[in-house]
Structure 1
């Protein structure tokens, strides 16, 4: 199974390298106020992919932190509730 995982990783890496090698043409990104940026297509695509991943992580960050805080409070609360329970058989 480990060998299959590494083979799949190698295949994906080689496909990404081939994609990058075929997309080196310069593209121009035009912004407002006559600002323009010229960069290779693969760099622009990677930049937008990375920005999207970062925005996705930031969008989930609040939820994850809230859930961790709630789990921590519940873990602290559980031993206190167990201490106040009457012994079994009463």
Structure 2
């Protein structure tokens, strides 16, 4: 199964590499206030991919930190629960008549 996963990864990499090599013509990206950026199309795509990746990481970090803190709290609670002795209560005796 690992071989198939690696084969798919290599095929996707080769496909993206061929796509990148085929799209080397210059493209102009127009921003607000008359600013323009001229670069190859694949470089613009790579820049947007990196910006999206960084934005995703920035928005995921608070949730990851919150989950790590909760995980630590739950581990401490479990350790305390394991260390406290279990008191086994006897059921009440039936009334003697």
Name the stretch that deviates more: 5-14 or 78-87: 78-87
Q: How many residues align?
A: 90
Structure 2 unaligned regions, length at least 5: 91-97
Larger radius of gyration: 2
Counterpart position of 1:19: 19
Structure 1 unaligned regions, length at least 5: none
Counterpart position of 2:93: none
What TM-score, normalized by structure 2, do the two folds share? 0.78
Larger RCO (alpha carbons 8 Å, 6+ apart): 1
Q: Matched residues in 1 for 2:83 and 2:32: separation?
A: 65
What TM-score, normalized by structure 1, do the two folds share? 0.83
